[in-house]
Amino acid sequence: MHFQIAELTDLVTGVFEKNGVRPAAAASVARALVASEAAGQSGHGLRRVPAYVKQARAGKVNGQAEPSATRPKPGFLAIDVRFGFAYPALDLAVAELPAMTRAQGIACAAIHNSHHAGVMALTVERLAEQGLAAMMFANAPASMAPWGGRKPLYGTNPIAFAVPMAGGDPIVIDLALSKVARGKVMEAHQKGAPIPDDWALDADGNPTTDADAALKGTMAPAGGAKGAALALMVEVLAAGLTGAHFSHEASSLFDDKGPPPALGQFIITIDPQAAAGEAATQRIAALASLMTEEDGVRLPGRKGRSARRLADQQGIEIEDSVMKAIADLG
Protein backbone atom coordinates (compact mmCIF):
# COMPACT_ATOMS: atom_id res chain seq x y z
CA MET A 1 0.00 0.00 0.00
CA HIS A 2 1.21 3.50 -0.83
CA PHE A 3 1.03 6.32 1.73
CA GLN A 4 2.18 9.87 2.11
CA ILE A 5 4.28 10.34 5.26
CA ALA A 6 1.78 12.64 6.98
CA GLU A 7 -1.11 10.32 6.15
CA LEU A 8 0.71 7.28 7.51
CA THR A 9 1.79 9.13 10.65
CA ASP A 10 -1.80 10.20 11.36
CA LEU A 11 -3.02 6.64 10.83
CA VAL A 12 -0.47 5.14 13.22
CA THR A 13 -1.08 7.91 15.77
CA GLY A 14 -4.78 7.07 15.72
CA VAL A 15 -4.10 3.38 16.32
CA PHE A 16 -2.07 4.17 19.43
CA GLU A 17 -4.65 6.63 20.73
CA LYS A 18 -7.40 4.04 20.32
CA ASN A 19 -5.31 1.66 22.40
CA GLY A 20 -4.91 3.90 25.42
CA VAL A 21 -1.86 6.00 24.56
CA ARG A 22 -2.14 9.70 25.35
CA PRO A 23 -2.27 11.83 22.17
CA ALA A 24 1.12 13.54 22.51
CA ALA A 25 2.89 10.25 23.17
CA ALA A 26 0.99 8.52 20.36
CA ALA A 27 2.14 11.21 17.91
CA SER A 28 5.75 10.98 19.12
CA VAL A 29 5.82 7.19 18.74
CA ALA A 30 4.15 7.34 15.32
CA ARG A 31 6.62 9.95 14.01
CA ALA A 32 9.57 7.84 15.13
CA LEU A 33 8.28 4.57 13.69
CA VAL A 34 7.27 6.11 10.36
CA ALA A 35 10.63 7.92 10.08
CA SER A 36 12.40 4.62 10.75
CA GLU A 37 10.36 2.93 8.05
CA ALA A 38 11.08 5.77 5.61
CA ALA A 39 14.81 5.46 6.35
CA GLY A 40 14.74 1.81 5.33
CA GLN A 41 14.96 0.53 8.92
CA SER A 42 11.83 -1.61 8.83
CA GLY A 43 12.99 -3.74 11.76
CA HIS A 44 12.54 -0.63 13.92
CA GLY A 45 9.56 0.67 11.96
CA LEU A 46 5.93 -0.31 11.56
CA ARG A 47 6.57 -3.98 12.32
CA ARG A 48 6.95 -2.80 15.92
CA VAL A 49 3.39 -1.44 16.12
CA PRO A 50 1.62 -4.71 17.10
CA ALA A 51 4.09 -5.43 19.92
CA TYR A 52 3.95 -1.83 21.15
CA VAL A 53 0.15 -1.84 21.18
CA LYS A 54 -0.09 -5.20 22.95
CA GLN A 55 2.32 -3.94 25.60
CA ALA A 56 0.27 -0.77 26.08
CA ARG A 57 -2.90 -2.85 26.45
CA ALA A 58 -1.23 -5.14 29.00
CA GLY A 59 0.32 -2.28 30.98
CA LYS A 60 3.86 -3.43 30.22
CA VAL A 61 4.34 0.07 28.81
CA ASN A 62 2.35 2.92 30.34
CA GLY A 63 0.63 4.69 27.46
CA GLN A 64 -0.47 7.55 29.72
CA ALA A 65 2.99 8.23 31.15
CA GLU A 66 4.55 11.66 30.67
CA PRO A 67 8.34 11.85 31.16
CA SER A 68 9.70 14.20 33.81
CA ALA A 69 13.10 15.88 33.95
CA THR A 70 15.27 17.17 36.79
CA ARG A 71 18.69 18.91 36.87
CA PRO A 72 20.68 17.24 39.70
CA LYS A 73 23.85 18.90 38.35
CA PRO A 74 24.22 21.95 36.05
CA GLY A 75 25.17 19.86 33.03
CA PHE A 76 23.12 16.79 33.88
CA LEU A 77 19.53 16.20 32.75
CA ALA A 78 17.89 13.21 34.47
CA ILE A 79 14.73 11.96 32.74
CA ASP A 80 12.30 9.47 34.25
CA VAL A 81 10.22 7.90 31.46
CA ARG A 82 7.85 6.39 34.05
CA PHE A 83 7.64 3.13 32.12
CA GLY A 84 6.20 4.86 29.07
CA PHE A 85 7.50 4.88 25.50
CA ALA A 86 11.06 6.17 25.01
CA TYR A 87 10.26 8.59 22.19
CA PRO A 88 8.58 11.35 24.25
CA ALA A 89 11.58 11.25 26.62
CA LEU A 90 13.97 11.53 23.68
CA ASP A 91 11.93 14.49 22.39
CA LEU A 92 12.34 16.09 25.83
CA ALA A 93 16.10 15.53 25.77
CA VAL A 94 16.37 17.05 22.28
CA ALA A 95 14.43 20.10 23.50
CA GLU A 96 16.43 20.66 26.70
CA LEU A 97 20.03 19.73 25.87
CA PRO A 98 20.91 22.43 23.29
CA ALA A 99 20.59 25.38 25.69
CA MET A 100 22.45 23.51 28.44
CA THR A 101 25.25 22.60 26.03
CA ARG A 102 25.68 26.09 24.62
CA ALA A 103 25.92 27.50 28.14
CA GLN A 104 28.51 25.02 29.37
CA GLY A 105 30.14 23.47 26.32
CA ILE A 106 28.98 19.95 27.24
CA ALA A 107 25.90 18.35 28.78
CA CYS A 108 24.27 14.94 29.11
CA ALA A 109 20.89 13.30 29.58
CA ALA A 110 20.44 10.15 31.65
CA ILE A 111 17.17 8.39 30.85
CA HIS A 112 15.72 5.55 32.91
CA ASN A 113 12.52 3.49 33.25
CA SER A 114 12.50 3.59 29.45
CA HIS A 115 11.51 1.44 26.49
CA HIS A 116 12.81 0.73 22.95
CA ALA A 117 15.09 3.55 21.74
CA GLY A 118 14.42 2.81 18.05
CA VAL A 119 16.69 4.19 15.34
CA MET A 120 19.02 6.36 17.40
CA ALA A 121 20.38 8.12 14.32
CA LEU A 122 17.09 10.02 14.23
CA THR A 123 17.74 11.40 17.73
CA VAL A 124 21.40 12.39 17.39
CA GLU A 125 20.73 13.85 13.95
CA ARG A 126 18.18 16.28 15.43
CA LEU A 127 20.80 17.48 17.89
CA ALA A 128 23.41 17.87 15.14
CA GLU A 129 20.92 19.93 13.15
CA GLN A 130 20.95 22.34 16.11
CA GLY A 131 24.74 22.65 15.88
CA LEU A 132 25.81 20.07 18.45
CA ALA A 133 27.94 16.96 18.34
CA ALA A 134 25.95 14.19 19.99
CA MET A 135 26.62 10.66 21.21
CA MET A 136 23.90 8.26 22.34
CA PHE A 137 24.08 4.90 24.06
CA ALA A 138 21.22 2.49 24.84
CA ASN A 139 20.91 -0.92 26.36
CA ALA A 140 18.37 -3.54 25.31
CA PRO A 141 17.06 -6.84 26.70
CA ALA A 142 19.83 -9.42 27.00
CA SER A 143 20.63 -11.16 23.73
CA MET A 144 24.43 -11.21 23.59
CA ALA A 145 26.88 -13.10 25.80
CA PRO A 146 30.18 -11.78 27.15
CA TRP A 147 33.07 -12.95 24.98
CA GLY A 148 33.66 -16.64 25.64
CA GLY A 149 30.27 -17.17 27.29
CA ARG A 150 26.89 -18.55 26.22
CA LYS A 151 24.53 -16.88 28.68
CA PRO A 152 22.98 -13.64 27.34
CA LEU A 153 24.01 -10.76 29.57
CA TYR A 154 24.18 -7.69 27.30
CA GLY A 155 21.72 -6.37 24.78
CA THR A 156 22.68 -5.46 21.23
CA ASN A 157 23.46 -2.14 22.93
CA PRO A 158 23.57 0.32 20.03
CA ILE A 159 25.64 3.48 19.84
CA ALA A 160 25.03 6.54 17.68
CA PHE A 161 26.96 9.70 16.86
CA ALA A 162 26.24 12.81 14.83
CA VAL A 163 28.18 16.00 14.16
CA PRO A 164 27.30 19.11 12.11
CA MET A 165 29.29 19.87 9.00
CA ALA A 166 29.69 23.26 7.33
CA GLY A 167 27.82 23.47 4.03
CA GLY A 168 26.21 20.04 4.29
CA ASP A 169 24.08 17.58 6.21
CA PRO A 170 25.41 16.20 9.50
CA ILE A 171 27.58 13.10 9.54
CA VAL A 172 25.55 10.39 11.33
CA ILE A 173 26.75 7.00 12.60
CA ASP A 174 24.37 4.43 14.10
CA LEU A 175 25.25 0.82 14.81
CA ALA A 176 24.40 -2.08 17.04
CA LEU A 177 27.25 -3.84 18.81
CA SER A 178 25.91 -7.16 17.65
CA LYS A 179 26.75 -8.18 14.07
CA VAL A 180 23.28 -6.89 13.12
CA ALA A 181 20.42 -5.35 15.06
CA ARG A 182 18.12 -7.93 16.68
CA GLY A 183 15.19 -6.28 14.91
CA LYS A 184 16.51 -7.71 11.64
CA VAL A 185 16.34 -11.22 13.08
CA MET A 186 12.81 -10.56 14.32
CA GLU A 187 11.84 -9.31 10.86
CA ALA A 188 13.22 -12.50 9.29
CA HIS A 189 11.32 -14.54 11.87
CA GLN A 190 8.07 -12.74 10.99
CA LYS A 191 8.65 -13.39 7.30
CA GLY A 192 9.72 -17.01 7.83
CA ALA A 193 13.01 -16.21 6.09
CA PRO A 194 16.50 -17.56 6.86
CA ILE A 195 19.30 -15.36 8.17
CA PRO A 196 23.01 -15.38 7.29
CA ASP A 197 24.95 -17.86 9.42
CA ASP A 198 27.17 -15.20 11.00
CA TRP A 199 24.37 -13.13 12.55
CA ALA A 200 23.59 -15.25 15.58
CA LEU A 201 24.23 -18.43 17.58
CA ASP A 202 21.65 -20.97 18.73
CA ALA A 203 21.17 -21.96 22.38
CA ASP A 204 24.07 -24.41 22.11
CA GLY A 205 26.44 -21.73 20.85
CA ASN A 206 26.45 -22.88 17.22
CA PRO A 207 26.00 -20.58 14.18
CA THR A 208 22.45 -20.76 12.81
CA THR A 209 20.45 -19.65 9.78
CA ASP A 210 17.14 -20.22 11.62
CA ALA A 211 15.73 -16.93 12.89
CA ASP A 212 13.65 -18.71 15.55
CA ALA A 213 16.72 -20.54 16.87
CA ALA A 214 18.62 -17.24 16.82
CA LEU A 215 15.99 -15.54 18.96
CA LYS A 216 16.31 -18.37 21.48
CA GLY A 217 20.11 -18.16 21.41
CA THR A 218 22.46 -15.17 21.32
CA MET A 219 23.46 -12.50 18.86
CA ALA A 220 27.02 -12.56 17.52
CA PRO A 221 29.01 -9.50 18.66
CA ALA A 222 30.40 -7.20 15.99
CA GLY A 223 34.18 -7.51 15.90
CA GLY A 224 34.29 -10.46 18.28
CA ALA A 225 35.83 -9.66 21.66
CA LYS A 226 36.05 -5.94 20.83
CA GLY A 227 32.33 -5.69 20.20
CA ALA A 228 31.55 -7.55 23.41
CA ALA A 229 33.79 -5.16 25.36
CA LEU A 230 32.05 -2.14 23.84
CA ALA A 231 28.67 -3.68 24.75
CA LEU A 232 29.84 -3.72 28.37
CA MET A 233 30.80 -0.05 28.10
CA VAL A 234 27.34 0.81 26.79
CA GLU A 235 25.74 -1.26 29.57
CA VAL A 236 27.56 0.84 32.15
CA LEU A 237 26.65 4.16 30.49
CA ALA A 238 23.03 3.37 29.63
CA ALA A 239 22.09 1.43 32.76
CA GLY A 240 24.81 1.68 35.39
CA LEU A 241 24.91 5.50 35.30
CA THR A 242 21.19 6.08 34.78
CA GLY A 243 19.65 3.70 37.32
CA ALA A 244 17.92 1.69 34.59
CA HIS A 245 17.64 -2.08 34.48
CA PHE A 246 20.67 -3.90 33.21
CA SER A 247 19.98 -5.85 30.04
CA HIS A 248 19.75 -9.18 31.87
CA GLU A 249 17.09 -7.69 34.18
CA ALA A 250 14.92 -6.30 31.37
CA SER A 251 11.87 -8.03 29.92
CA SER A 252 11.41 -8.56 26.17
CA LEU A 253 10.51 -5.74 23.80
CA PHE A 254 8.77 -8.20 21.48
CA ASP A 255 5.90 -9.49 23.66
CA ASP A 256 3.46 -8.33 26.32
CA LYS A 257 4.67 -10.66 29.07
CA GLY A 258 6.28 -9.58 32.30
CA PRO A 259 6.98 -6.18 33.87
CA PRO A 260 8.12 -3.05 32.01
CA PRO A 261 11.63 -3.46 30.53
CA ALA A 262 12.80 -0.27 32.31
CA LEU A 263 15.78 0.23 30.00
CA GLY A 264 18.14 3.20 29.85
CA GLN A 265 19.57 5.66 27.38
CA PHE A 266 22.49 8.09 27.83
CA ILE A 267 23.09 11.09 25.58
CA ILE A 268 26.16 13.34 25.59
CA THR A 269 26.10 16.63 23.67
CA ILE A 270 29.09 18.85 22.89
CA ASP A 271 29.35 22.35 21.47
CA PRO A 272 31.83 21.88 18.58
CA GLN A 273 32.85 25.52 18.80
CA ALA A 274 33.87 25.34 22.47
CA ALA A 275 37.49 24.47 21.71
CA ALA A 276 38.03 24.89 17.98
CA GLY A 277 35.73 27.86 17.45
CA GLU A 278 33.96 28.61 14.18
CA ALA A 279 36.48 26.50 12.29
CA ALA A 280 35.25 23.25 13.85
CA THR A 281 32.48 22.42 11.38
CA GLN A 282 34.64 23.62 8.49
CA ARG A 283 37.39 21.21 9.50
CA ILE A 284 34.85 18.39 9.61
CA ALA A 285 33.61 19.37 6.15
CA ALA A 286 37.21 19.30 4.85
CA LEU A 287 37.70 15.80 6.23
CA ALA A 288 34.42 14.64 4.67
CA SER A 289 35.44 16.13 1.33
CA LEU A 290 38.73 14.26 1.44
CA MET A 291 36.90 11.01 2.19
CA THR A 292 34.47 11.33 -0.70
CA GLU A 293 37.18 12.17 -3.27
CA GLU A 294 37.63 8.43 -3.63
CA ASP A 295 35.05 6.59 -5.72
CA GLY A 296 32.78 4.33 -3.70
CA VAL A 297 33.12 6.21 -0.40
CA ARG A 298 29.84 7.39 1.08
CA LEU A 299 29.52 9.36 4.30
CA PRO A 300 27.72 7.53 7.11
CA GLY A 301 24.02 8.30 7.40
CA ARG A 302 23.55 9.49 3.82
CA LYS A 303 21.60 6.45 2.63
CA GLY A 304 18.91 6.70 5.30
CA ARG A 305 18.61 10.47 5.01
CA SER A 306 18.22 10.25 1.23
CA ALA A 307 15.56 7.57 1.62
CA ARG A 308 13.61 9.79 4.03
CA ARG A 309 13.79 12.76 1.68
CA LEU A 310 12.51 10.63 -1.18
CA ALA A 311 9.70 9.33 1.03
CA ASP A 312 8.75 12.90 1.97
CA GLN A 313 8.45 13.75 -1.73
CA GLN A 314 6.95 10.58 -3.17
CA GLY A 315 5.41 8.71 -0.25
CA ILE A 316 6.24 5.22 0.92
CA GLU A 317 5.23 1.65 0.12
CA ILE A 318 4.22 -0.55 3.07
CA GLU A 319 3.68 -4.29 2.80
CA ASP A 320 0.02 -5.33 2.88
CA SER A 321 0.65 -7.81 5.69
CA VAL A 322 2.16 -5.08 7.88
CA MET A 323 -0.76 -2.73 7.28
CA LYS A 324 -3.28 -5.50 7.96
CA ALA A 325 -1.62 -6.23 11.31
CA ILE A 326 -1.86 -2.52 12.17
CA ALA A 327 -5.44 -2.19 10.93
CA ASP A 328 -6.49 -5.15 13.10
CA LEU A 329 -5.37 -3.17 16.16
CA GLY A 330 -7.45 -0.10 15.32
Mind giving me the DSSP string for 92-143? HHHHHHHHHHHHHSEEEEEEEEE-----THHHHHHHHTTT-EEEEEE--SS-
Q: What percent of the chain has pLDDT over 90?
A: 88
Write the CB contacts of 313 (distance below 8 Å, at least 6 apart in sequence). Answer: none
Write the CB contacts of 152 (distance below 8 Å, at least 6 apart in sequence). Answer: 142, 143, 144, 145, 218, 247, 248
> Coil, helix or strand for 161?
strand
Assess whether pLDDT exceeds 90 at residue 179: no
Write the CB contacts of 63 (distance below 8 Å, at least 6 apart in sequence). Answer: 16, 19, 20, 21, 22, 25, 26, 56, 84, 85
The CATH number of domain 67-178+221-299 is 3.40.605.10: no
pLDDT band with cut points at 50, 70 and 90 for residue 187? confident
The model's pLDDT over 105-153, given as tens digits with 9 standing for 90+, comes to: 999 999 999 999 999 999 999 999 999 999 999 999 999 999 888 889 9
CATH topology for the 1-58+301-330 domain: Hypothetical Oxidoreductase Yiak; Chain: A, domain 1 (1.10.1530)
The model's pLDDT over 294-328, given as tens digits with 9 standing for 90+, comes to: 999 999 999 999 999 999 999 999 999 999 999 99
The model's pLDDT over 194-241, given as tens digits with 9 standing for 90+, comes to: 999 999 988 888 899 999 999 888 999 998 899 999 999 999 999 999
The model's pTM: 0.93
At 195 the pLDDT is: 95
pLDDT band with cut points at 50, 70 and 90 for residue 25? very high
Average pLDDT over residues 266-275: 96
Q: Give ∠ CA 5-10-14 in degrees, rounded to 5.
A: 150
Least confident of 181-190, 195-204, 266-275: 181-190
Write the CB contacts of 162 (distance below 8 Å, at least 6 apart in sequence). Answer: 121, 124, 125, 127, 128, 133, 134, 170, 171, 172, 173, 301
Distance CA 247, CA 240 (A): 10
Q: Where are the domains of the chain?
A: 1-58+301-330, 67-178+221-299
Assess whether pLDDT exceeds 90 at residue 5: yes
